[in-house]
Amino acid sequence: MTRQVPPIGSALDTHALQLLDSAHYLHPFTDHAALAREGARVIVRGDGIYIWDADGQQIIDGMSGLWCVNAGYGRTRIVQAAAEQMQTLPFYNSFFQSTNVPAVQLAARLAALAPPGFQHVFFTSSGSEANDTNVRMVRRYWELLGQPQRRVIISRHNAYHGSTLAGASLGGMAGMHAQGGLPLPDIHHIGEPNLWKQAPGTDPEAFGLQAARWLEQALADIGPERVAAFIGEPVQGAGGVVIPPASYWPEIQRICDAHGILLIADEVICGFGRLGHWFGSERFGIRPDLITFAKGVTSGYVPLGGVLVGERVARVLAAGGEFAHGFTYSGHPVACAAALENLRILEEEDLVRRVREDTGPYLAARFASLAGHPLVGHVDSCGFVAGLNLVRPDGSAFDPALGVGLLCRAQMFRNGMVMRAVGERMIIAPPLIMQPRQIDEMVARIRYCLNETQQVLAALGYV
Ligand SMILES: *Cc1c(COP(=O)(O)O)cnc(C)c1O
């Protein structure tokens, strides 16, 4: 944070980049007509919890990039570990009875960090590929057990499990399903455990049980003998930081156990300290059979994902001959070397425990103080994810068509703060290195931006 900002060009350079960007770069999840009109934000540098744009503006990155830069920006140690591995061996595959040193070390490290019962890891380069791997793996598992009719995977509306065909199908995003004929067959969705959306004002624990029993209902409708697995994020991230009541996951676990179906915890966001534990499953008392990971495993410095495979599944797969699945970059040595160094940082700086016992509770208290703002309704948090719902000063909801969340997000960015908008819900997932004084700084910026948003909404006649 004390390093000098290098000269990164004038406003003209920014504009030239924006024109080139618009002419050639197809962005993920982007309306390109709007992008061409407004120009992309060009981010050029990061350090700690901050990023800088091409015009030199310093911005608090309240979203850790995309939920991934857990160890913060500017970690020279990760850069060096990756560079040294590139010198030594930039690539070799893990097919054909080969392996490489960082992949072996990382697999062993992850097995040690995982909840009890996990001894094996399958590597991919992303969370989406890891969830595709889950689909293939659980179907293979049931085939090997002589139950090939067990193909159905149950997920939840508004879940996010990636953007490949299987990932987008497992996910419950209506906008994604509306394009290209998704979901794929044999993927079924139940309601999400979202109290403020589904049953505002009701008792949270009673609602948690009710939401879990939608799984039991689905099993009855589909026929439990056809169901292979249930998949869920411990806390739904992209769906808007949906924190389930404490009663929810134990009941889901009970139902999975009662019917013998596999439980997949998608920990791509919740893993590696985000909820104050190495895995979010520990926070919610989930005993999964498979764990999807990506994002925070490398703090995003290089792409890496994978599946932690519990012994119940690993034993059957191992006895079943070749599993015809894998990627060129499974166990990529540079990605694994970066992950190992990132995990060392999380451990040496005690970041997981700090989020659980120290900075997480501090963030929760400071963020909750925003509930007093006239535009803020429901506020909640869990570890280092948090969300607030924008409402009218009289507490009533905004018409979604007004795009109030996006207006608020624009005010945030203009004033040096990244918050994500999911409808009218504004969410954060800051780097785990954020210190209490930086939490104060962030909450002050958010409060300032909420005031600005209120003025803009008043000028538009929305409040
Ligand atoms: C981001 C995300 C994915 C997809 O990961 P990619 O690396 O973008 O493919 C899957 N599951 C969850 C919960 C995620 O947040």
Mutate-to-test residue for ligand 1 from 66, 126, 176, 299, highest number of ligand atoms within 8 A of CB: 126
Confidence at residue 188, expressed as pLDDT on a 0 to 100 scale: 98
Place of tokens 């998949």: 231
Confidence at residue 12, expressed as pLDDT on a 0 to 100 scale: 61
Give the angle subtended at the CA of 462 by the CAs of 458 and 463, to the nearest 5°. Answer: 60
Confidence at residue 25, expressed as pLDDT on a 0 to 100 scale: 96
Atom of ligand 1 nearest to the CA of 238: 15
> Within 6 Å (CB) of ligand 1, which residues are found?
67, 126-128, 131, 160-162, 233, 237-238, 266, 268-269, 294-295, 305
Whether 45 and 52 have beta carbons less than 8 Å apart is answered as yes
Atom of ligand 1 nearest to the CA of 233: 13
- Give the integer Cα–Cα distance in Å for 335 and 259: 38
The CATH number given to 76-348 is: 3.40.640.10
- pLDDT tens for the 463 residues of the chain, in order: 444 444 555 556 899 999 999 999 999 999 999 999 999 999 999 999 999 999 999 999 999 999 999 999 999 999 999 999 999 999 999 999 999 999 999 999 999 999 999 999 999 999 999 999 999 999 999 999 999 999 999 999 999 999 999 999 999 999 999 999 999 999 999 999 999 999 988 999 999 999 999 999 999 999 999 999 999 999 999 999 999 999 999 999 999 999 999 999 999 999 999 999 999 999 999 999 999 999 999 999 999 999 999 999 999 999 999 999 999 999 999 999 999 999 999 999 999 999 999 999 999 999 999 999 999 999 999 999 999 999 999 999 999 999 999 999 999 999 999 999 999 999 999 999 999 999 999 999 999 999 999 999 999 999 9
Taken in order 75, 78, 80, 82, the sign of the CA dihedral is negative
Q: Residues spanned by CATH 3.40.640.10 within the chain?
A: 76-348
Q: Residues spanned by CATH 3.90.1150.10 within the chain?
A: 41-74+350-460
Mutate-to-test residue for ligand 1 from 128, 129, 158, 170, highest number of ligand atoms within 8 A of CB: 128
Q: Which CATH number fits domain 41-74+350-460: 3.30.300.30, 3.20.20.150, 3.90.1150.10, 3.50.50.60?
A: 3.90.1150.10
The pTM of the full predicted model, rounded to 2 decimals, is 0.96
Which residue is closest in CA terms to ligand 1's atom 11?
161
